[in-house]
Structures are given as C-alpha cells and as structure tokens.
Amino acid sequence: MSAEFFEVERLSLSFGGVKAVRDVSFSIRAGEILAVIGPNGAGKTSLLNLITRVFDASSGSIRFNGQDILRLARHDVVRQGIARTFQNIELFEGATVLENLLLGRHRADHGNFFSQMFNLPSVRRAEARTRERVEDVVRLLELAPFRHRPVAELPYGVRKVVELGRALAAEPRLLLLDEPASGLNPEETRRLAYWLEDIQAELGVTVVMVEHDMSLVAAVANRVVVMDQGQVLTDGTPAQVQADPRVIAAYLGT
Amino acid sequence: GAAGVGDKELVLGTHLDLSGPVAIAMPVIRNGIQMRIDEANEAGGINGRKLRLVVEDNASQPSQAVRAVDKLIRKDEVFALLCPFGSGPNVATVKKAVDAGVICFAPYAASGLVRQAAGQTPLLFTTNLNYDSTTSAAVKWATGNLGSKKVGFIYQEGPFGDLVGKGVKAALAAKGTPLAAEASYKVGDLDFSSHVARMQAAGVDLIVCATTTRETIAVAAEVKKLGLSGVNVLTASPGRAGLTIALGKDAMEGVYGVGTWRIAAPDQATAAEKSWAEGYRKRFKAEPDDVAAAFYDYTSWFLQEVRNAGRDLTADKLVKALQASTFKGVSSYDTQRFANNHIDPEWTRVEQVVQGRWTARSSVVDPAKSSL
Amino acid sequence: MLTLPHRQPIFHRRLANDRYLTRTDDAMTQLTQLIVQGISSGAIYGLVALGLVLGYKATEVLNFAQGDVVMLSAFLGWGLVVAVGLPFWLSFVLVLCISAALCFLLEAKIMRRIAGRPQFSGVMLTIGIGFMIRGGVSMLFGPQSRSYPTPWTGQSMQIGGSVVAELNLVIVGAAMGVTALLYYFLRRTTLGVAIHATSQNQLAAYLCGVRVKRLNSMVWAISGAIAALCGLLLAPITLVDLGLWFVMLKALAALVLGGFGSAPGAVIGGLLIGLIEQFAGVYLPDGVKDVAPYLVLIGVLVLYPRGILGESHGRRV
Amino acid sequence: MTPLLSVRNLETWYGPVRALHGVSLEVHAAQIVTVLGANGAGKTTLLNTIAGVLAPSNGTVEFEGRPIGGKDADEVARGGVVLVPEGRQIFPFLTIAENLRMGAFARRDAEIARDMAQMYDWFPRLFERQRQQAGLLSGGEQQMLAISRALMGRPRLLLLDEPSLGLSPLFTKDIFAIIKRIREQTKTAVLVVEQNAAIALATADHGYVIELGRVAAAGPCEALAQREDIKEFYLGGASHPPPQGVADGIRPARRRPSWN
Amino acid sequence: MARYETGFEDGRRLLRRRPERLAYGLLALTLVAAPWLLPAYHVGEATFILIMCVASLGLMTLTGFTGQVSLGQSAFVGIGAYIHTILLTQGVPLPLSLLLTTGGAALGGLLVGMPAIRVSGLHLAMVTMAFAIVCEHVLGRWKSVTGGHSGMAVPDPTLFGLSLGGPRAFYFLCLMVLAVVLLLLVNLMRSATGRAFIGIRDSEAAAQGLGIDVARTKVLAFSLSAACSGLAGALLAHQMQHITPEAFGLALSLQLVLMVFIGGLGSLRGAILGAILIGLLPSFISSLKEMLPARLGAQFGLELFVYGAVLTFFVLLEPGGLNSRWVRIRKVLAEFPWVRKSSTHQTKVYMKSERYR
Ligand SMILES: Nc1ncnc2c1ncn2[C@@H]1O[C@H](COP(=O)(O)OP(=O)(O)OP(=O)(O)O)[C@@H](O)[C@H]1O
Ligand SMILES: Nc1ncnc2c1ncn2[C@@H]1O[C@H](COP(=O)(O)OP(=O)(O)OP(=O)(O)O)[C@@H](O)[C@H]1O
Ligand SMILES: CC(C)C[C@H](N)C(=O)O
Ligand SMILES: [Mg+2]
Ligand SMILES: [Mg+2]
C-alpha cells in the first residue's frame, strides 16, 4: 500500500480567534505507528478531534482509504475503521469493563432492533462472535481480573488500558491514541509499548498516537510529526526529531 | 344480606379530594356528612345498626378515584357511596359502582354527565342540581331583568364547565343571540386578568362564571379593578356560596349567583338553622357553612330512607324507598323528591351579594316547569 | 407615560343594580392594558423562577418544592397577621426570615445528603418534600382558602389610560429589584463567582477554601426568602390557598425559556410567559391560552436548546 | 523539630474497600517530599485524605501541630494546605482569570494582583487565554491552570497529584523548577505524587514508595534513587531508553501486572 | 474458540443458577395462582400494578438506560388509552387493537423524540412536561374524537367472543402482556442496542466516538418507551372502564418517573420494584389511616404528607434504588452462613455538575 492509506491535507480549524490547527498536512502508510508530539496547546488533540469529526474543519481534507472523512456523518467515521481514545478518558462509568469493551464493537454489531428483541439465532450468533473478539482483547491487554468490575472503581492506569481495549474491540484499521501513557509509571509504559508492538505487528493496525512521553515515542514510533502553535514544525524518525534544535527549544527542553 | 349491611353495622363509603387541587372545598362537605352520621350513631344507630363511613382520597384524579372506588366496593364492601366529590372522579367511577350493585347517592358533580356515564340504572340518585338547566334559567332571567345583551362565559375546563356552558348556550339560543366570548381556565390558574380582558374586548355586559371559590372571587375582583361598571357577573352554583363572600369580601359585592340551597345569614336564621349551626360549631370548632348544611341534608335524606327501608335492608328496598320519598332539610328551598331517580323539582333562584349577603333576586322555581 | 397615581379605593363604588355606560375602549388602551397585565403577572412567574435559579446555581438542584414554599409563606403570613394579630410589616419580615431559615435547614439537613447523585435525584427529593410541605400545611392550617388585608389590597391607579392594581406595581418593582440585586451579587462579587464555581465543580471549590456547605445553605436561604416574598405578594391576588404552588409550573417554564441558571433570563422568561398568556388569552381562540406558554417553550427549546439567555456549555474531549 | 505535616497510621476506606492500610509520613518545613507508587497503590487516596477530600477512618494527620484529619477540605485549604487534585478539576465555565481569582478566594491581602501577574509570567499561555472559558483549554493548559490556581492560595504546604500529567517534557521540567523556586522564595513545603520518578527524585529531598496502601520504602531521594528495585520499577523507562528487546522481538519476561 | 462460546452463552443466559431458576419459577407460580389466593379487591390492585409495571418498564428504557428524563410519559399512556378505546369502539378486535395502539404510540414517540432529542437533561424533562400538558389539553378539547372532558366509556375486552372483563381474566391478560414486554426488553437490553443505550447515558461523546448513531438511538429509545407506555395505556383504559383526559396528566408522569427512580435507574427489575412500591402506596396510606387515631387519620393532607415522606425516605436512603437493596439482600442470602460484616465507612461525596455532559 502507498501513502494513500491515510492523508491529511492543509487542514485548519479555528475557534473564534484561536487558530488551533493551521494548514496541517501529513500522511501515514498502512501499518505505521506515527507519533504526534508538540507543546501543550499545539493542537494535537484538536487534530484527532478533526479526524473523528468531533469538530468540523474550517478547511482542508482528510482522506482515509480513498474516502473523504469530512463528508461522512459523525458516527460513520468509525464504520470506516477508525477508533480512538480520549485524553481525559471517556469511559462509560456506569458500566463494567466488559460492557465497555462490548460497546467498543458496536459498529460491528449486526441485526436489527426486532431480531434483537426476539433474540433470534442470528443475534445469538453475532453476540457470540462479538464476545469472542472482546475476549481476545481482554487476553491481549490482560484485563481478565477486571472483566466484571465497574469502571468507576478502577484506578487511573487501568482505565487507560480499558479505553485502549475499547478502541481495539472495534477492530479498527486506524487507531488514534491521545496520550496513552499519561498517568502510567515507567513500568506500565513499557508494557504499553509491548502492546502497541503487538497491535501493530499481530493485528496490523495503523496507529496515530499523541504523546508526551518520549521514551514511549522513541520505543515504538516509526515516524514523528512535531506540531507547534497549530502547525507542523517538522517530522522524521524519533531520533531525527529528538535531535532537532527547534524541537528541543519548543518541546523537549535541555 | 346486601354488601355492607352487617348485623350491627352499616358501611358507607365516599371519596373526596383530600389532597388534590380542590381539597380546599372538602372539609365542609366532609363535616356535613360526618355530623349527620355521628348524630345518627349517637341516637343509637338506624334499625339497630351503627353507621360507619369510609372516606377515601381521589385527589380529583379519575384514575385515583377508580382505585378508591375499587377499594370501597371490594375491600370495605360498602353498601352505598354517599356524596362522592368531583365530576371527573364520579364520571369515571359511577358505572363501576352501580354495576357492582352499590347505590351512588348525591355525588357532588355535574349531575347530567354522571347520569350519562352511569347508563340506565336505578341505583344512582343525584341531588346536585343540573348546572345546565339552572344556569340556563338564570341567564334567561338576566337577559330579561338585567337587560344583558352580550353574554360572555368564563369556565373551568372540564365536565363542570362544559355543563354550565351548555346551559348558557341553551338560554342564548332561545333568544337567538350568540355567545359573545368564552374563556376557559385550568384548575390551579391564578391569574384571571386575561379572561376578563377577553370579555372586555368583546364588550360583554354579563359574564357567566363556571367557577369555584377562588376563581369566582378573582373574576369579580378583576372586573372591579378595571372599573367595568356596566358589566354584571353571574356565577353558577358552586361559586354562589357563603365562602366566596367570606373570602372575597368587598370584591364579591354585587355579584349574582345561581342558588341551589338556602344560605341563611345568622340573624335571619330559623330556629332549626340556628340549632343546626350551634351543633356544627360545637362539633367542629368552626363556623358552619352552607355547603356543610347542604351535605348534612343530603345525608339526612339518605338516612331517612335507610330507616324507612327497614331492618331488612337491601339496595332494591332502599331504591324503592328513595323513589317514594320527599325531603326538606335545613338548607332546602322547598320540598324535594326523586322522580326518574333524579331530584325533582330542581328548586333554584337568582341571588345577588348585597352588603355581604346572598340576597334573593327572584322567586324560587323549578326551571323545568317555569322560568324565573 | 406614568400619569400621576390617581388613587381610588375601587371596591366601594357600585351597588346592586347600578348600570353605567360600558366604557368604550379603543384598541390602544386595550393593548397597554394587556401589556401592563402581562408584565405584572409575568413578574411573579419571574420572581418565583429567580428563586429556582439561585438554588440551581449553587447546588444544581431544581427545587420543585419552591412553589410549596411560596404557598407555605402565604399561610404563614395569614397566620401571623390574622391568627396571631401582628402588624403586616412585622409579619412580612418574620415570614421572610422563617422561610429563609426553613430553606437553610432544608439544604443543610436534607439536600446535602444527595450530593454526587444524578441531577434528577434532587428533583425527586424536592418533589417529595414539596408533598410533605403541602400535606403539612393542610394538616396544620386546614385546606380552606383564606385571605388577609395587605397595604395593597384593593388599591389601584391609572397608568397611561389603563388601570393597574398597586400590588402589580409592587410586584414588578420587587421583581426588578431582586433581579438587579442578584445580578450584581452573582456577577460582580467574589461570593457570586464562588457560587458559580461551586456549581461547576464542588470539589475544586472546597479545595479553593470556599465554605461550600455554608454557602449552599445560604443561597438556599436567599431563595427561600424570595419564595416568601412571592407568597406574600401573591396572597392578596389569589387568596391564601393550597393551590398557590401551581405558580411553580409557570415559573419552571419561565426558567427554562430564559435559560437555566440565568437570573435575568428567568425574569425575561417570566415576562414573556405573562405576556404570551395575556395576548393569547384575548386574541387567540379560547383554550389556546392555557397551552400557549408551553407551545412557545417547546418551540424555543427546539430552536435554541439552551433557552434565550442560557450559557453555552461547550465541552471538549 | 516538629514536622510541618505528620501523618500517622492513616487508614482510608472506599465503602467496603480499604485503600490505605496505615500510612505514616512526615513533611518538614521547606521540604519537597515525593511519593511514588504503582497504579492503584493509593497515592491519590493519601493526598486526598490529607487534604480533607476523603475522611480517614483511622490515624491522624497533623499540620503545624494541629490535627486536620477528618476536617472538611475547605477548612484544610484555608489552613494553608492546598491540593492540586488528580484530573485537574478546574471550573470549566469560569474564565481563566476567574479560576485564578478563585484560587485566592480565602485571601484578603493586597497582593493578589501581583501573584496573578506572577502566574501569567510563569505560564504565558494562561495570559494569552485569560478571558477564555477554562473548560476549552487543552489538557496541558488545564494542568497549568490547576497548579497556578493552587499557588494563588499561597499555601504553606502544597500537595501535588501528578503535576506532570499531560505536560510536555519541557513544561514538566519547568514545573519542577517552579516548585523548587517557590520553596526557595517562600519556604513552601511540597508533597508531590509523581509517575515521572526520575524528575521527582531529582527534585525532592525525601521520598516514600507506596505499595498496595502501605509504605514500602522511604528515605532521602539520593538513597532511593540508588536502590535496585526502585531503579527497576520506577526509573526503568525514564533514565535510560527501554530495552532494545522491544524492537528485536526479544522481550524480557513480563512481570505480572501489579494489580493481580 | 468454542471455549468462549460456551462460557459466553452461559453468561448471556437469563437464569444462570439453579436457585435463581427455582426462585423465578416459584414467583411465576405465585403470580398464576394469585387470583385464586387473593380477595377480589387485591386482584384488582395487582392488575393495576401489572399495568404500571409495563408503563414503568417503558420509561426505564428511556430514563434508566438511555439517560433521557421524560416527564411526558403520561401523554403516551393517554394516547395509548384513547387510540385503543377508539379502535375498540370501531369494532377492531382486541389483539389487533393492542398491536395498533402500540404501533401508534411508538409513532407518537418517534415524532416527539425527533425534535426533543435536541435538548437534554432538565431541559428535556421540561420539554416533555410541556408536551404532556399540551397533550392532555388536546385530549380534553378534541371533543368529536375523545369525548372531551366527559371522556369515553371503554368497551369490555373480548377475545374470540370471550369476555376478559372479569377481574381474573383481565389480570391474566395484563400478566401476559407484562411477561411479553419484559422478555422483549430483557433481550434488547442484553444486545447491541441495549448497550448503545447505556453508552449514550454515560457519555455521549464516547458513544459518538464509537460509531453509535446517537440521535437515532435516542429516538429509538423514545419510541420504544412510548410504545410500552401506550400499551400500558390500553390496558389502563380497561382497568378504568371510563377514561377522561385528567387521568393522563402530569401526576401520572410524575408517578412513573418516581417508579423508575425509586426502583433504581438502569435496571428492569428496578422498574418493576418501583412500580410495585409506588403502586401500593395509596392503599398503604389508606390502611395506615385506619390504624391511626381518628383525629389524625381524618386530617386533610395526611395522604400527601405520608406520600411525600415515603418518597423522601426512599430517595434519601436508597441511593441505588430498590434494585440495589435487592441485590444486596440477594448477596447476603447467597453467602448466607458466612455473613460478612460489611464495614460501613462513610465516604465524602461531592456534587458533580451535569451541565457539560
Ligand atoms: N472548543 C474550543 N474552543 C476554543 N479554543 C479551543 C477549543 N478547543 C481547543 N482550543 C484551543 O486550541 C488549542 C489547541 O488545543 P489542543 O487541545 O488541540 O492542544 P493539545 O496539543 O492537545 O495540547 P495538550 O498537549 O496540552 O493536550 C488550545 O490552545 C486550546 O485552548
Ligand atoms: N471511588 C472509589 N471506589 C472504590 N475504590 C476506589 C475508588 N477510588 C480508588 N479506589 C481504589 O483505591 C485504590 C487506590 O487508588 P488510588 O486512586 O489512590 O491509586 P493511585 O495510587 O493514585 O493510582 P494512580 O497512579 O492510577 O492514580 C485502588 O485500588 C482503587 O481501585
Ligand atoms: C362540583 C363543583 C364544585 C366543581 C368541581 N370541581 C367538579 O369537578 O365538578
Ligand atoms: Mg491534548
Ligand atoms: Mg492517582
């Protein structure tokens, strides 16, 4: 596959006077892990929000697999195979971990309302399939001990993992992660790195990850896009950007 | 024996609005009924039976009334429903009661509609005058004697208002004039300025009110406030009560009302009325009231015939007794009887508040037979 | 516009069969009359709604018992003036204080316990408390209506050709005054900002050193006092009556129309509903008046989901 | 010398779940103390209990010799112990300036404006956005706001729960530099919970390690930083790059997750 | 992956354990035998409660699962009652009429839901309340069709020429309807749609992010709950035998909301427990009155006061609703000999704003 897998072109977003994203362009090859880094308020989260259509772009285009994302209805983005996590964790607090993961698969759930009401065999089969996939995620992320715990009781770190799992349950082709390692200690971050490797290698998922933890970025990212003040400052391999003086000045510090 | 007729006890039931929007009007009704029953019990009961009254709450809600009546019929197994309150609740429940063979006596509600809802049954006895025939007579009287030309109508949404409206329209149709304006309100409305403004805009000179206590006062006060001096207010029977004057005071001065029973001023009271009032004061530590007297009377009438029906009491016997009975109570204008299961004649007259007192403006007549 | 008050005790003029010429009203007088009426009845809705706004602001509880506090205050007023025989103004102040104290306790002893529960628990709880107040009042005072004299009973004056009861002016004045005070308090004082802050994030308010508990109780007390004011002003118009709580429905509509949690919005919503009712009552077919405020409410909310002056609560993810 | 804050045998429950099993620690005046621990160890619970957000069921908390355990959070805050809670907890619909002013709510002195200028100086982004609703800030900006709001209260003891959460590396360094500077200038003591153990241990004087609601290790930071277990669990990713194994496909044996 | 399938099927089964199956079997038996065990009055009350259960289940899907508070449910109950009565008077057979009524109410829910979902939280509560007020008004005014305020008499329910009007027969009709509704809802709630409901309740942003069509799902919930309420309305019409608009006013809406709230949001069992509690309250109060000294029992407002007190009590002391109490009791019973003394440590709680959900 080529650069067409996912492509952002001259994307802009402004809130009143604040230009959160300005003319951002980049592209991802299938199977890549792309990290987006940049100072606070650089517009990274806004970029993810644009891709998942939480916000409407002021201009520009986003192409995924030849589809123009900006033309889709909001809930249809996921149907194209894009899943995400949120910076401030948006789990369904009142539900258990399992229910959260099952919900992650919503887009893959078939069967209409009436067949569900009558619990027809087709629905039973679909449910079994769904559960099977979810169990795969549980196994991958080692969530088994929490399967039936309500999310509201879980510590921060576990919630982060649950949210990752929920996104994975959708079997996305493109996974968008907003600061997956924040709030994790180095040990846990290392585990996350393995998972991301698995996700990339075993599941063949392409990942765009906004992250401040350079150890994680350095460990897993194939390429890094650096944003500053809504614009792309530079991009390159982790080693390249870490050495870039502009990046050091604006973001890494000495 | 029949349901509710025990060896030593006769069980009667009623449902009133104890917690709903019209609860304000209930204490007097309840006191009136209870007073008569207590008196009967103090005198040793009737035909060897003490009377027990079970009071349920209908909150003016038909659905709650249905359940209350269910309970009265099935659980308490009452012999009769005595003076249940409210048009909505009665319309919704009367069929249930009579189907179960329970006599329904003197519901305080729009009688015509209750009868319609009950279907063909000898078990229903309504003592409340028909709002339509009495109002119709009064409106005819007003067009004649007050020279009212353009008539407006302010009414409570619901069966009561509907029935009064029917009467108003009937009277006007007879004259060939249309109703100039009508304005409805919902129970609980506080503000009547727009209703009166509507009347004013239509240029009416008579406002007929299908209103109860608070609303009657509010309309009268609004008319006064705007200084609509050529406009007369005529309230249907529920608004024509001692209470409206007691509360409305000056605002009620000059208002006309459709009379259904006598309201005796203390200084003009007959000896019977005085002693009744004294008894009421003693029993309830409260001032007596015409509505209480009326319900005392209805209960009297009922009990009078229970006695006449004899010790071997059944619904059939009581129906026969009631159909044959005549009655004149403390508050009755004149002797009444049941014909066709309904009170007959419907004695009524037009009254007006003069110096804080309902004062006769017409003679007492039966609107079915002659005009006021 | 404001021609001099031509004071007239109006209820002493006519006798039984007096017949005067019907006043010929031109359309203009009718219009001003309606506007004046609409504003004054709207002001009451707005005033009740203001009390709701306050409670909502601080604790995010929509106090469904507000109407019952209004009713209770009217009864207390009757009790003090008629049963106890105190002078009107003393009773006035006392009722304000009692009602404030009651709402203070209500918050401190009951509402506080449901902190952290879904917003609608507050509604449920206050509905229950409202029932208790209504039931309690009718057990204590009896359900009968009653009335008592106030300085404004039966006084009216002419403004721009239409007759206005003095009481209506008092109500409009009170509503405006209370709104202005509240607006200033909520917008311009540190305590006011603290109230906003508390409602947005109670935990953070604690951490900033705000005496959240005391503040909440105090705000409820103020809203109780406003309710008492409404009760005392309504009583002479409508009688002291258990049904007074019905004003709550209109106040709710006003509150929502104006935008939840906005003090000026509540008053504007109230006035709007008052005016809609008046005009619908006179110019639209019979029966439309009763539902007109609600139809407008539905329409406005569907078009502007936040109400007229509601803040937008953008949330980012 | 009596410590500024002394926590003895603190026990905290969430309903039927015990989260702290008797934690004791001390913070002395002008000292920076850090608390390390895995997810769910109870760090947040500890800070919340000290700050009065949670009520302890056992044990004592003394600040400046006076017991503050079990008091309400507002009272503790007015007493000079200010918490920057986990998850930011800003006032979303107030402007940034109003948020900062709320931080100084309990203060009555004349220097509020000066402090505010100081905050804008440290966090220029907040200055640019001061009229904006705080809820619309980016995650990191909100974190800055939360910290500076706490500083507006001029605490004598500042409790920080993961201040670096969501902050860029550069800013994380800045924050810790600011913490140090404040300590120097105003003798404010700081108790900081941090996942970024490297920077925390480098900044702090004393450290505690909490595991499953108990203090597992304590000591001066230099000493802690030398311990092998701590190096492995808490400094692993931060001080040196992750094991090359990740890229090679050869993984170190996975440790069982701490929550098992 | 058969391993998961078996486990999963077990997990999805309705009655997982023997004791559970036994308990529910017993319950079913009791319900079937009830009409012969109870006096006629109590059969009527039980029927009423069954009907309320259907309505409160409907509201539970909307409020408890989807998080949309509706104070307009009475309107749908009313619409159902009227459609059904009108259809029956036109000679439509009972089963068909019940179906058409359900469909009609669902359509009504759809029409109301589409604009209503633009608002949420208390705003939605107010919009739906306004709708209920308007609807009651229309029922009262549209005399030619609804009979206005005098209402309509409801024909006896008949099935293939057999009258179901008697207390027992009608009880079974209601019991059957409730059982069917409950089963369908249970199925729905354990499938994708049910999960989507919960997702929307907990975080609309996340639900959107997972590809749930929030608007469509909300409207669906509206429509579903309206359908249940409409069906309940049809049954209620028979129970009342004579329907008037006031029977379907705000008070009914409030009662329904109280049922789901006190029962425990987010659980179908809660809806039923709530309906039982709120449904029994009036008769509880009237028997309470008989036990009180006559002076107190005759006090006006006593009913209201007690009603309010009970509500307040339950809202305050059962934050999770009756359902959570039930779950706790069941747990204690399940672990019976090893009763663990649950340490009740008070935790401080803070109000969370719902303004930016
Ligand atoms: N809805 C909004 N309204 C106004 N301004 C906004 C809005 N959303 C974001 N912004 C502004 O846009 C800028 C970019 O925000 P964004 O959340 O994308 O930053 P970020 O790169 O994710 O930062 P961080 O690393 O701190 O999370 C910020 O300055 C923020 O204040
Ligand atoms: N509200 C709650 N209800 C029940 N248990 C809770 C609650 N909050 C926390 N816990 C439990 O208390 C323990 C300690 O949690 P705490 O949040 O203090 O951990 P932490 O050390 O701050 O973790 P993290 O690094 O993830 O923030 C955890 O096991 C958690 O599951
Ligand atoms: C009986 C009357 C006083 C009016 C009463 N509200 C009714 O429903 O009919
Ligand atoms: Mg971000
Ligand atoms: Mg923590």
Contact partners, residue B26, CB within 8 Å, separation at least 6: B16, B17, B18, B85, C143, E300
pLDDT for position D79: 93
pLDDT for position C22: 40
Q: Residue A51's closest CA among A33, A41, A63, A40?
A: A63
**Which chain E residue has the Cα nearest residue C254?**
E126
d(CA E237, CA E224): 20
**Cα C46–Cα C50–Cα C54 angle in degrees, nearest 5:** 165
Strands (E), chain D: 5-14, 17-27, 32-37, 58-63, 66-67, 81-84, 157-161, 189-193, 206-211, 214-220
State ipTM: 0.88
SS3 D91: coil
DSSP state letters, B195-229 = HHHHHHHHT-SEEEEE--HHHHHHHHHHHHHTT-T
Could you read off the pLDDT of D138-194 as tens digits, one per residue?
888 999 999 999 999 999 999 999 998 888 999 899 999 999 998 998 889 999 999
pLDDT band with cut points at 50, 70 and 90 for residue B178: very high
Q: What are phi and psi of B88, to 5 degrees?
A: -55, -55
**Cα D138–Cα D143–Cα D148 angle in degrees, nearest 5:** 125
pLDDT for position C160: 65
Q: What are phi and psi of B232, to 5 degrees?
A: -100, 150
d(CA B222, CA B199): 11
d(CA C189, CA E244): 53
Distance from CA of A81 to the nearest CA of E (A): 10
pLDDT beyond 50 at A48: yes
User: Among the ranges B182-196, D107-121, E171-185, E299-313, which has the highest mean pLDDT value?
Assistant: E171-185
Ligand 3 centroid–CA B158 distance in Å is 9
Ranges A21-25, E42-46, E70-74, E295-299: which has the least confidence: E295-299
Mean pLDDT of E140-167: 86
Pocket test for ligand 1, best of D90, D138, D171 (most atoms within 8 A of CB): D138
Mean pLDDT of A76-81: 84
CB contact under 8 A, A156 and D39: yes
pLDDT for position D218: 92
Residues B232, B150: contact at Cβ < 8 Å? no
pLDDT beyond 50 at B149: yes
**Ligand 3 atom nearest to B110, measured from its CA:** 9
d(CA D195, CA D214): 17
List the A223-228 sheet strands across, edge first: A82-84, A174-178, A206-210, A33-37, A223-228, A231-236
pLDDT for position D11: 92
Residues in chain C with CB shorter than 8 Å from the CB of D101 are 190, 193
Residues C229, C222: contact at Cβ < 8 Å? no
pLDDT for position B367: 81
The amino acid at residue A46 is S
Q: Which helix (H) or strand (E) holds C163?
A: strand C162-165
**Ligand 1 atom nearest to A48, measured from its CA:** 18
User: Is residue C264 reached through a cis peptide bond, with omega within 30 degrees of 0 on the bond before it?
Assistant: no
Could you read off the pLDDT of E274-324 as tens digits, one per residue?
999 999 988 888 888 888 887 777 778 888 899 999 999 999 988 888 888
d(CA A212, CA C120): 39
In a structure prediction context, what are the per-residue pLDDT tens digits for chain C, which is 317 residues long?
Answer: 333 334 343 333 333 333 333 444 567 777 888 888 889 889 999 999 999 988 888 888 899 999 999 999 999 999 999 989 999 999 999 999 999 999 999 999 999 888 878 888 888 999 999 999 999 998 898 888 888 888 877 677 776 667 777 888 888 899 889 989 988 988 889 999 999 899 889 999 999 999 999 999 999 999 999 999 999 988 887 788 888 888 898 999 999 898 887 888 999 999 999 999 999 988 899 888 889 999 999 999 888 888 777 766 666 66
Q: Which helix (H) or strand (E) holds B3?
A: none
Distances in Å between the Cα of E258 and the Cα atoms of C115, E59, E69 are: 19, 10, 11
Distance from CA of A52 to the nearest CA of D (A): 17
The amino acid at residue C299 is G
Residue among C163, C241, C252, C283 with most chain B CBs within 10 A, to mutate:
C241
Distances in Å between the Cα of E219 and the Cα atoms of A72, C72, E109, E222 are: 21, 41, 8, 5
- How much of chain A exceeds pLDDT 70, in percent? 97
**Ligand 1 atom nearest to A43, measured from its CA:** 18
The ligand placed nearest to the CA atom of residue A40 is 1
CB contact under 8 A, E243 and B62: yes
pLDDT for position E347: 75
pLDDT band with cut points at 50, 70 and 90 for residue E40: confident
SS3 D160: strand
d(CA D144, CA D139): 9
Which residues on neighbouring strands pair with residue A33, listed in sequence order?
A207
- The number of beta carbons lying within 10 Å of the beta carbon of residue D117 is 11
Which residues on neighbouring strands pair with residue A102, listed in sequence order?
none
- How much of chain E exceeds pLDDT 70, in percent? 92
Q: Residue E171's closest CA among E35, E283, E279?
A: E35
Ligand 4 centroid–CA E199 distance in Å is 23
Both tokens of E302, joined, read: 């006593």
HSE-CB for B273 with a 13 A CA cutoff:
20
CA E278 to chain centre: 11
pLDDT band with cut points at 50, 70 and 90 for residue A111: low
pLDDT band with cut points at 50, 70 and 90 for residue E89: very high
The amino acid at residue A168 is L
Contact partners, residue C191, CB within 8 Å, separation at least 6: C185, C215
d(CA C204, CA D188): 21
Q: DSSP letter at A34?
A: E
Mean pLDDT of E194-206: 89
pLDDT band with cut points at 50, 70 and 90 for residue E8: low
pLDDT for position E11: 61
The amino acid at residue B152 is G
Question: What's B49-91 look like in SS3?
Answer: EEEEEEEEECCCCHHHHHHHHHHHHHHCCCCEEECCECHHHHH
pLDDT for position A157: 83
Q: Which residue's CA is minimally distant from atom 19 of ligand 2?
A: D40
pLDDT for position E7: 52
CB contact under 8 A, C194 and D105: yes
A40 in contact with ligand 1, CB cutoff 6 A: yes
Pairing of strands C162-165, C155-159: antiparallel
Distance from CA of E264 to the nearest CA of A (A): 13
pLDDT for position D240: 42
Residues in chain D with CB shorter than 8 Å from the CB of E343 are 13, 16
Q: What are phi and psi of E320, to 5 degrees?
A: -85, 5
Contact partners, residue C310, CB within 8 Å, separation at least 6: C258, C259, C260, C261, C262, C265, C304
Could you read off the pLDDT of D3-31 as tens digits, one per residue?
899 999 999 988 778 889 999 999 999 99
Task: Identify the residue whose tokens are 């005759």.
Answer: E298
pLDDT for position C314: 61
- The number of beta carbons lying within 10 Å of the beta carbon of residue D59 is 18
Which residues contact ligand 3 via a Cβ below 6 A? B 22, 86-88, 108-110, 158, 160, 212, 238
Chain E residues whose C-beta sits inside 8 Å of any chain A C-beta? 1, 4-5, 8-9, 11-12, 184-185, 187-188, 190-196, 198-199, 201-203, 205-214, 220, 266
Ranges A67-76, B342-351, C149-158, E265-274: which has the least confidence: C149-158
Between chain B and chain C, the number of residue pairs with CB atoms below 8 A apart is 138
A153 in contact with ligand 2, CB cutoff 6 A: yes
Could you read off the pLDDT of B331-341 as tens digits, one per residue?
888 888 888 77
Residues in chain C with CB shorter than 8 Å from the CB of D98 are 193, 197
User: A86 touching C, CB under 8 A?
Assistant: yes
Q: Which of D53, D55, D93 sits opposite E346 (nearest CB)?
A: D55
- How much of chain B exceeds pLDDT 90, in percent? 48
D85 in contact with ligand 2, CB cutoff 6 A: no
d(CA A88, CA D165): 11
**Which chain D residue has the Cα nearest residue A193?**
D246
CA dihedral B358, B364, B367, B369 (to 10 degrees): 180
More confident residue, D132 or E335: D132
pLDDT for position C241: 83
What are the b/e assignments for C248-277, b being 16+ CB within 10 Å?
bbbbbbbbbbbbbbbbbbbbbbbbbbbbbb
Could you read off the pLDDT of D243-259 as tens digits, one per residue?
443 434 334 434 333 33
Chains E and B touch (3+ CB pairs under 8 A): yes
pLDDT for position A110: 64
pLDDT beyond 60 at D33: yes
Q: Which helix (H) or strand (E) holds A223?
A: strand A223-228
CB proximity under 8 Å: E 303-342 to D: 342
DSSP state letters, B229-298 = TT-EEEE-GGGSSHHHHHHHGGGGTT-EEEESS----GGG--HHHHHHHHHHHHHHSS---HHHHHHHHH
pLDDT for position C40: 86
pLDDT beyond 90 at A89: no
- How much of chain A exceeds pLDDT 90, in percent? 40
pLDDT beyond 60 at D88: yes
Q: What are phi and psi of B271, to 5 degrees?
A: -60, -40
pTM reported for the whole predicted model: 0.90
d(CA E111, CA E103): 12
Ligand 5 centroid–CA D86 distance in Å is 6
Task: Identify the residue whose tokens are 């209960």.
Answer: B299
d(CA E47, CA E66): 28
Could you read off the pLDDT of E128-139 as tens digits, one per residue?
999 999 999 999
